[in-house]
Amino acid sequence: MALYLRYVDYKTGEVKERFLGIVHVGDTTSLTLKAAIEKLLGANSLTLSSVRGQGYDGASNMRGSINGLKTLIMKESPSAYYVHCFAHLLQLTLVAVAKKNVDCSVLFDSLATLLNVIASSCKRKDILQEIQAENILKASQKGELVSGSGLNQEKGLSRPALVDVTTKNLKKIREDGWIAHMENVTSFCQKYEISVPIMSDMYVVPGRYKRGKKQVDNLHHFRIDVFLSLID
């Protein structure tokens, strides 16, 4: 969990935000999360009594009315009103829309299965984080990754993307992102010895061929039917 401090600068009246750090926990129970947050706040000379708002996703351990994290915090600081994280709501919306694309729906279903297997075990999550940290370190040493503030660092999370930022980013990707996207895909496939489809070849529909379905080449399918369709 990433913890941000949002406050008002009384000299300028401007609302500012400061990244406090990442909360690492062995499990995601509300009591464990609350203890970790209190520890991080204490390290920044803050207490729960000074909290005036909180926002998380919609999981029961976060917003539960009896033992949820937001309830435990409000018992100590009644003014720490809870709102559902707007960035998370936007994420849910984008995922729901993306699933309307058949190819992306298959991808999300596969990812959901993978995440369920990993998330069901804290040990598996820790092992995966250790492996990822090693991969990032190796890639950085080889010059394959650019390091710096907010880049490839577990404690360097960027600020949540809201609607206007997301719209601008999607527009830029739609107009200029295909070539860079294909370069990344090709590089990934070559690294892990995965064959890259020849874009001029005809696209082969997985499973049984559907009569009447228009035949297109790989370039049209992956660029128009998947890439641009998903962004639109």
3-state secondary structure 51-118: CCEEEECCCHHHHCCCCCHHHHHHHHCCCCEEEECHHHHHHHHHHHHHCCCHHHHHHHHHHHHHHHHH
**Residue range 77-93: average pLDDT?**
80
Q: Where is pLDDT greater, at 15 or 153? A: 15
- What Cα–Cα distance (Å) separates residue 49 from each residue in 4, 38, 77? 16, 10, 5
**For 165-211, what is each residue's pLDDT tens digit?**
878 888 999 999 999 999 999 998 998 899 998 999 998 887 665 66
| pLDDT over 70, % of the chain | 89
pLDDT for 73 beyond 80: yes
Q: What's the confidence (pLDDT) of residue 220?
A: 93
Residue entry with tokens 């719209």: 167
Q: Where is pLDDT greater, at 109 or 149? A: 109
**For 123-151, what is each residue's pLDDT tens digit?**
888 888 888 888 888 877 777 765 554 45
Q: Are 230 and 101 in contact (CB under 8 A)?
A: yes
pLDDT for 105 beyond 70: yes
Instruction: Find all residues with CB under 8 Å of 118, minimum gap 6, and list them.
Output: 124, 125, 128
Domain ranges of the chain: 2-84, 161-232
pTM of the model: 0.49
Q: Are 34 and 21 in contact (CB under 8 A)?
A: no
Query: Would you place residue 47 in the very low, low, confident or very high pLDDT band (cuts 50, 70, 90)?
Result: confident
Q: Are 72 and 34 in contact (CB under 8 A)?
A: yes
CA–CA distance, 143 with 160 (Å, rounded to integer): 28
Q: Where is pLDDT greater, at 34 or 209? A: 34
Query: Would you place residue 156 in the very low, low, confident or very high pLDDT band (cuts 50, 70, 90)?
Result: very low
Q: Where is pLDDT greater, at 97 or 216? A: 216
Q: Are 147 and 157 in contact (CB under 8 A)?
A: no
Tell me the CA end-to-end span of the chain in Å, nearest whole number.
Answer: 31
| Alpha-carbon 171 to chain mean position | 19
CA–CA distance, 201 with 222 (Å, rounded to integer): 12
